[in-house]
A and B are shown apart, each in its own frame.
Chain A
Amino acid sequence: MSNLLLTRSDVGEFRRRFRWMALAVFLAFVVVLCRLFQLQVVSGSDYASIAHENIIRRATLSTTRGVVRDSQGKILASSRPSYNVHIVPGRVLPSSRRSIRKASVDEADTWPRVADALRLNPADRSRFEARIRAACAGDEDTPGRRGGRDPKTSPCWRAMLVREDVPRDIVAELRQHQTELAGAEIVAVPVRYYPYKNLGAHMLGYIAEIDADTLSKVRPAGYDALKTDERGQVNPLNYDVGDTHGATGVEHAWESYLRGQRGWEKRVVDARGRYRTGPEAERLIDAPKRQEAIVGRDLRLTIDIELTQAIERAMRPHAAGAVVVVEVRTGRILALYSKPDFDPNDLSGGSGRARIREAFGRMYSDPLRPLLDKTVTGAFQPGSTFKPFSALAALEDNVMNPDETERCDGFINFGRKAFRCTHVHGKVNMREAIGESCNIYFAKVAELAGMDRIAKIATDFGLGSKTGVGVNPESAGRIPTRAWYAMRYRGQFRLGFTINAAIGQGATAVTPLQLTLAYGALANGGTLYSPQIVRAVETSDGSVVQDFPPRVRQQVNVKPENLARIYDGLYSVVNDPKGTAWGVRDPSLDIAGKTGTAQTGYVAKPEDDPKLAAYYAQNHAWFAAFAPSKAPEIAVVALVEHGGAGPTQAAPVAIAVVREYQRLAAVRAGREAPARAPARKTASAPGTPTAPAAVAVAPAAPLPAREPAEPLPPLDAPAAEDPPQ
C-alpha cells in the first residue's frame, strides 16, 4: 500500500496539449455534421427519390391477345395457358452449395422427386443435374467480399427452365406435392393456340418471338432514356425483349388490333426482389398507382373454316397447290388455301424452342416450300384460264366476230416453228374455242387484238397488280405489254410473244387470288372488288367495334353483250359435251368456268433429283370457275402445281368446293330459317347466253354468333428466388 502514498508524477508535459486536442475533436465533428447537412438537408430530396425508386417497381400486367374467328364464329386462333416448370438450383439441390449459406438440416435434395414428377428421361436428367451443380459450384465465398457472391447474380439462385408445356396432369401432381418439391415452380404463360392446326395456316400466320432486327427498330439505342410519349412514337405497340408478335398472315397484318396493351402496377419491393404488401407498403406508393391492361381486339374473318376443311379433303391427292374462294358480290375471301402447309402451333412456342427449331428446319428443307403462301405470294402462268380475257379484248375492240369460225388443224406453221394445239378441233367459233380451249383460235385472237389490247383488259380485271389483300407479302404477277418486251428483249418483237400472252403462257404470271377476283368480276358484270379477309373487329365480350363493308376497287368498262359471250363460253366448258370439263362435271351443280394447263418451262438440270425433276416437268393444272352460273355467288380458283391437266386434276377440286359451299349454305339456311326452302338448283338450258346482271353490293348481314373463348387463368412471370442468408 505504501507506494500509493507516493507523490504522483507531474502532468505538466501534457498541459498545453488538451486545448488543441479538443479543437481537433470539435473540428472533426463539425466536418461530419456539415457532411450530414449536405446529405440530409441540401440533397435530401434527391436521395429520397433514389430511395423511393429503390423500393417501387412497375410490375407488368399482362394482356391477352385477341381471338381470331371465322365468318361463322368458330375460333381459329386464341390463347391457352402453357405451364412451364422452373427450378431454383440452390433449392432443389442444397447439397450442391458450397458457401456459408450451406444447406441446413431441414433442407433435403428435392431434385430427384422433381425429375420423377416431370418424367424426365435419364439423359435429360443427368444433363440438368450437371447444370445445377455447375450453377452452384461458383456460389462459394470469396475472401473479403462479405456474404460471398451476390445472390442477385449467382446462377445458383436464378430460376432455370426445365420443361415447357407440361401436361395438365403433371401440373396437378406438382401442385399437390408442392411442399415436398421445394424449389420447383410452375409458371403459366399464354401460348397461341390454333385449334384447326394446319388449316388456313398461311392465311392466319403464326406467333414468334420478336427478332433482333425488328427489336432494334422499335427499341433503338438510347430508347430507355426517351420520354414516355417519344417511346410511344418509335414503339407504339410497346415491344420488349422476349416479346412475341405475329410473324405472318393475319396475325402479323392485324398485330396492332390483336396485341392489346400491357398495363402496369406499382409494387413495393425489397432489396431481394420480394414484393411487400399490406397498408405499410401501400402507403409508400405514389400516384398514379396502376394502369390497367387493355385486352387485344378480336377479329372476325371472312374465311369459312368448314369450307376450307372441304378444300383440304379435295386437295389430299395432290402434293402442292392453292385454292381461293371469293364472294362474287362482296370481294370477301371465303377460303385461302395453300398446300403444302404447316401447323402454326409448332411455330408459336407452346411446345418449346426445340420444337420450333425442328419445325422450321423441316420446312426450309422441303422443296415444296410449305411456308410460302401460294395464294398471294406465288405467281404462276395462268395458261388457258387467261383466255376469256383475251377473247374479251378482241370483242371489246370489235376486231373479231365471235360467230365466225377459225379452222384448227392441230397446228399452225409459224415461222420455222409449228405452234401446236391440243388436238384437231376443226372449225370453231369463239364459244367453242373457249369451251374446247383451242389454241389455234386464240393465235388468231392474238394476231387481231394485239398484245397491248389484251394486256389492257387483263390489267382492268386486276391481273398483274397487287390486290391489296394486306395479308402476307403479295406478288404483283405480270401482264406483259409490248413496252415490257421492248425493255426486256433486244431482238425484234415477234407475234409468238402475243400468242403466248393470249393463252396465258410466256411471261404472263398471276396469283391465284388475282385470278379469283378477276373471275368474280367477270361473273358479277364487271365490278372488281378489293379482297377482304377481316369482316369485323370485335371486343372480347363480342360487341362489334368496326364492321368493314365491301369495297369496290374498280368498275371494268365492258359491254354486257360481250360479257355475255364470254360467259356463254365459260358455261360451255362445263356444260357442253365438247367442253373440256364435261367429263368431270357434277350434273347437280351449276358451274361456269375455264380449265387451264400451264406449261412451266422447266428444263431438268443434271444435278436435279430425278424424282423431283419428273415432278417439276409436269404442267400446272388450273380451274377457274364461278357458281351458280346464273346468279353467281362465289368464284373459285383451284391450282394444282405440277398436277398435269387442268380438267382432270384441278376441276374436280373446284367442283368439290362448290358442292360443299352449296351444302353449307343449305344447312345454315335451314338452321337459321327452317321455313325457307333450301338453295335452289338452277340448271339453265345449254346455249342460252345470258350474262348475270351487275349486282349491287349485298346488304350487310348480321354476323353469326361466335364461339366463346376460354378465359386464361392469371398468368405470372417467374419470380426471383429469395436466397436464404
Chain B
Amino acid sequence: MSMRGSLLDGGDFGGRARDHFDWALFIVASLLAVIGVINLYSATSVAKLGLQDMYIQQVYWLVVGGILATFVAAIDYRHYERLGYILYAGGVVLLLLVFVLGRDIRGSSRWIYIGSFSLQPSEFTKLGLIIALAKYLHDDPKSEGRQLRDLLGPALLTAVPTLLILRQPDLGTALIHALIFCSICALMRISLKSLTTLAVAGAVAVPVVWMYVLKEYQKQRVTSFLNPEANILGSNWHAHHARVAIGNGGFSGSGFMRGTQNQFLFLPDQYSDFPFAVYAEDWGFLGCALLIFLYGFLILWAIRIASTARDRFGAVIAVGVGALIFWHAFFNLGMVTGILPVVGVTLPLFSYGGSSVLTIFVGIGLLMNVSMRRSYVSPTRRPGLAFR
C-alpha cells in the first residue's frame, strides 16, 4: 500500500470512502455559499466604490476554501488526530503573534498582516481547539460519570486561546470558543455532583465577569439590548435599523436589491455582521425560513455524522464543527433579530471575510471527512436522520 493510497483512501476503509461522498452536506453547504455571495452583492451594491467588488473577493475565498476543504476531506482524519496538539499549538502561537504584529483598529487588534494579506488567527484557533479537544477525549475514554478534575484538561485547552482572544479584545470570538467547549462537554457523561458544582460556579461567575472582565462598551451593548428603543441614534442604531430592515421585508420581501434600509445606507456593517438583515429585507419571511432550514439542516446533519462516526475523535470533531456553525448562526441571527445583545459574531458563509470563509470550509471538509469514513450503516437505516 503506497503512502499516497493510504492517505487518500483511508487505509483499511479501502475504496469505500469515495462511495460514501456526502452529497447532502455538499449541496447544503454549496447552497448556503451561493446564497451568501448573492446577498453580499446586494449588501455592498450601495457601498462606496472600494467595497463594491467585495463579493468577487468572497468568491475567491470560496474557491480557495473549496480546494482546501477537498484536501482536508481527502486526508484521513486520523492523521489530524496525531497532529492534534501541534495544530492547536500553532493556533495559539499565531494568537500570540497578534500581540506582536497586530495593528490597532477601532480599539482592538485581531489581525496579522503579511504584506497585503491579513489573517485573523482567532478564526483558525476554533478549529485547533476542536481538534485538540477531540484528541483529548479520544485518548481519555471513561465509562462512568466524569469528575471535575477530568474536565480540567479540556478546560485548560479552551482557556488559553479564549483568554488570549479576550485580551484583543474580541468578545464574540472568545464566546464562541467557550461555547464550543460547552457543546463538547455536553457530549460527556458528567457526574451529578460535578454538574451542580459547575452550575453554582457559573452563577457566581456571571456578576464577576460583568464587574471585572467586561469593558464599558460591552456592558453598554447588553444594557441597550435590554432597553431596545432607547438611544436609537447612539448605541442602539445598529440593532434598531436591523430590526426595521427585517420587519420591512414582510412576508415576501422587497425584492432583490430593493430593500430600502440597505439601499439607503441605514444598515451599518451590512457586509460583516448584518448581512442577514439585508437578506431578510430583500427576501422576506419566506426567504428567511428557507435560510433557517438550510442552517438547521446543516447542523442536524453534523450531529447525524457525529452519531455515525466510527470513533470518539470523529464524533467530537463533527459535534465541534456543528457547534461552531450553530453558535455563529444562532448568535448572529439572535443579535440581528434582537433576541440577543449585539455581539460581533459573523454569519457563516454570509459575512464577508477570508478567515471566516476558510474556517467554515475547512470545518465542512472535516465533516465530510468524518462522514465519508463513518462506520457501516445498514442500507435500510440510511435514509433520514438516525440518532442512536
Contacts and interface: CB of A to CB of B under 8 A. Distances in A.
B312 A41 contact: no
Contact of B264 (A33, A40, A55, A147): A55
A152 B268 CA distance: 14
Contacts of A13: 141-143, 187-189, 312
Nearest to B46: A270
A1 interface: yes
Interface string B272-290: 0000000010001100110
Interface string A27-44: 011011101110111011
Contact of B315 (A14, A41, A44): A14
Contact of B250 (A8, A18, A40, A55): A40
20 contacts: A9-B311, A14-B306, A15-B388, A17-B186, A21-B183, A22-B300, A26-B300, A29-B296, A37-B285, A40-B249, A48-B248, A51-B247, A52-B260, A143-B106, A144-B107, A144-B217, A144-B220, A146-B106, A270-B265, A284-B260
B233 A33 contact: no
Contacts of A43: 247
B167 interface: no
Interface in B234-264: 234, 237, 241, 243-251, 260-261, 263-264
A28 B141 contact: no
B218 A144 contact: yes
Nearest to A54: B266
A150 interface: yes
Contact of A5 (B12, B105, B142): B12
A272 interface: yes
A25 B299 contact: yes
A724 to B, nearest CB: 8
A499 interface: no
A26 B12 contact: no
A26 B333 CA distance: 14
A21 B218 CA distance: 29
A36 to B, nearest CB: 5
Contacts of A48: 247-248, 250
Interface string A678-712: 00000000000000000000000000000000000
A19 interface: yes
Interface of B: 1, 6, 11-12, 48, 76, 78, 82, 105-108, 138-139, 141-143, 183, 186-189, 215-218, 220, 233-234, 237, 241, 243-251, 260-261, 263-266, 268-269, 280, 284-285, 288-289, 292, 295-296, 299-300, 303-304, 306-307, 309-313, 315-316, 319, 322, 326, 330, 333-334, 337-339, 385, 387-388
- Nearest 8 pairs of A and B residues by beta carbon: A47-B247, A143-B107, A144-B217, A8-B311, A51-B248, A270-B264, A44-B250, A271-B265
A663 interface: no
A52 B261 CA distance: 9
A22 B12 contact: no
Contacts of B138: 9
Contacts of B1: 1
B315 A11 contact: yes
Contact of B268 (A28, A147, A269): A147
Contacts of A10: 141, 312
B244 A51 contact: yes
A557 interface: no
Contacts of B300: 22, 25-26
Nearest to B344: A146
A39 B333 CA distance: 13
Most B CB contacts (10 A, CB to CB) among A13, A35, A270 go to A13
A45 interface: yes
Interface of A: 1, 3-5, 8-15, 17-22, 25-26, 28-29, 31-33, 35-37, 39-41, 43-48, 50-52, 54-55, 100, 141-147, 150, 152-153, 268-272, 276, 284, 725
Contacts of A12: 143
Contact of B280 (A4, A9, A40, A152): A40
A271 B264 contact: yes
A276 B263 CA distance: 11
Contact of B339 (A15, A32, A50): A32
Given A40-B288, A147-B268, A51 B245 contact: yes
Nearest to B309: A11
A55 B243 contact: no
A284 B76 CA distance: 56
Given A5-B12, A54-B264, A55-B264, A39 B142 contact: no
A18 B284 CA distance: 32
B250 A41 contact: yes
A147 B247 CA distance: 26
A144 to B, nearest CB: 3
A11 B247 contact: no
Contact of B6 (A1, A22, A725): A1
Nearest to A49: B248
A269 B138 CA distance: 59
A47 B248 contact: yes
Contact of A39 (B243, B292, B330): B243
Nearest to A37: B285
